[in-house]
Structure 1
Amino acid sequence: MKNIAHLLPESVRNGAYTYSGYMQLMEQVVLENRTTGPKQSEELSHYTKLNLARMQRLNKKVTVSDSLKEVIEQIDIPQTWYILTEAWCGDAAQNIPPIVAASLANPLITVKLLLRDENLDLMGAYLTNGGKSIPKLIAVDEDFNELFTWGPRPAGAQMLLREYKANPVKPYSEFAEDIQRWYIADKNESLHRELQELLEAVAVDK
């Protein structure tokens, strides 16, 4: 079991957001017509505004399957789910609300959000194919032993991205709309199924 205490020093943990705190941050940067992270542009500010609306919508309507709830309710050790994210990230906007909704099934789970570009050491340890793809979920126990990781997107969406990168026949802005349509049709079912499989594997390894 990998211990990542060195990647989560007190300074990093103190800088983490609760989910409500992260939503307040999103609202603040949208009011200021900007985004999180060092890179600022009208395009990123626009995506951030869209993401806030998506997250607010998902917060109200996202549901968790009974099978996933059952697995989460069986967790018997305190654990923290750290999520690396940025406000401009469309995949984060789609996946963080259902992750948080799932975590609420057990009070032993604490969700903390970290901005990717303020935590590059942690991000560097969890690259996807060499890239700083987000969101990235890293679950640890009280001693900072890694329990499981997930991200940056469900397998179906990841496959669409791989296909697009192999043959980018349309502007990325159009592909981003395709991904959003995939999320709408999927209704978070893939994410919750993948989370359930990860949690069941952790339970078997105990």
Structure 2
Amino acid sequence: MKSIVAKALFNSHSYSEYRKLVSDLLSDGKSTGNDQSEDLTHYTSLNEKRMNRLEKTITVSEDVIAKLQNLKNHYIWLVISEGWCGDAAQILPILNKMAAQSNKKIDLRIVLRDENEEFMNQYLTNGGKAIPKVIVICKEAGIVRTHWGPRPKGATDLMTNYKKEFGVIDEKIKTDLQLWYLADKGISVQEELVEIMENIKYNRL
């Protein structure tokens, strides 16, 4: 497992590198990932606009900042993502702001799902390659402590209940999901991640 994590870290990007990679591909009419299609390129273009907006509007609460800065250890958040993923576009700008205000307690790195299949397969959700997934690595110990994702609980419940009722994931629920993120303003991601970070000290792996 350690070698798989090390390989993923070697292949990872900083937030700014990830944004540039996605943007450069988009300018060539492409998206990240093994599959290429007009739909995926369209989703990537929408995500670029979302991330640009969120970078300007998302704020991290003072309570969350204090809790991050008070962490006893230093961590890497290694996030599995792709440019076409709508959830990743909503979540990554929040993670970037949290890491930036953590007093260097958090180092954010991003790795592409399709280029790191062996790593992705360690963190499946109900057997599927759902993203984003945040893998929390303790820098001092060099081991994975916990993970989070692919969505906050409220967003997960929204999707689960819709699929249970209608049996499909269609454009309506995709729109509803984006509206949920808009109304939530990044609060759920912040609160859930801070909670799991604070609980790491009780997890003696």
Same fold (TM over 0.5): yes
SS in structure 2 of the partner of residue 125 of structure 1: helix
Unaligned ranges ≥5, structure 2: none
Using the TM superposition, give the Cα deviation of residue 107 of structure 1 relative to its aligned residue in structure 2, in angstroms.
1.0
Q: Does 1:14 align with 2:6?
A: no
Aligned structure 1 segments of 4 or more residues deviating by more than 6 angstroms: none
- Match for residue 87 of structure 2 among 88, 91, 96: 91
Match of 1:57 in 2: 53
Unaligned ranges ≥5, structure 1: none
CA contact (8 A) 1:80 1:139 kept: yes
Instruction: Provide TM-score, normalisation by structure 2.
Output: 0.93
Map 1:41-190 onto structure 2 (within 5 A).
41-104=37-100, 105-142=102-139, 143-168=141-166, 172-190=170-188
Using the TM superposition, give the Cα deviation of residue 76 of structure 1 relative to its aligned residue in structure 2, in angstroms.
3.4
Larger mean Cα displacement after TM superposition, 15-24 or 55-64: 55-64
- Match for residue 24 of structure 2 among 22, 28, 53: 28
Instruction: Provide TM-score, normalisation by structure 1.
Output: 0.92
Superposed CA RMSD in Å reads: 1.6
Partner Cα distance (1:204, 1:125) in 2: 23
CA contact (8 A) 2:14 2:109 kept: yes
Using the TM superposition, give the Cα deviation of residue 84 of structure 1 relative to its aligned residue in structure 2, in angstroms.
0.1
Larger mean Cα displacement after TM superposition, 46-55 or 100-109: 100-109
SS in structure 2 of the partner of residue 111 of structure 1: strand
CA contact (8 A) 2:31 2:84 kept: yes
Partner Cα distance (1:158, 1:55) in 2: 20
SS in structure 2 of the partner of residue 167 of structure 1: helix
What amino acid maps onto 2:107 in structure 1? Answer: T
Using the TM superposition, give the Cα deviation of residue 169 of structure 1 relative to its aligned residue in structure 2, in angstroms.
6.6
What amino acid maps onto 2:112 in structure 1? Answer: L
The alpha-carbon distance between structure 1 residues 126 and 170, as it changes in their structure 2 partners (threshold 3 A), is: closer
Partner Cα distance (1:158, 1:106) in 2: 30
CA contact (8 A) 1:75 1:106 kept: no
Deviations 1:29-83 (A, max 9, x none): 2211111111111111000000011111111221111111111001232221100
Partner Cα distance (2:78, 2:168) in 1: 34
User: How many equivalent residue pairs?
Assistant: 202
SS in structure 2 of the partner of residue 76 of structure 1: coil
What amino acid maps onto 1:191 in structure 2? Answer: V
Q: Report percent identity of matched pairs.
A: 37
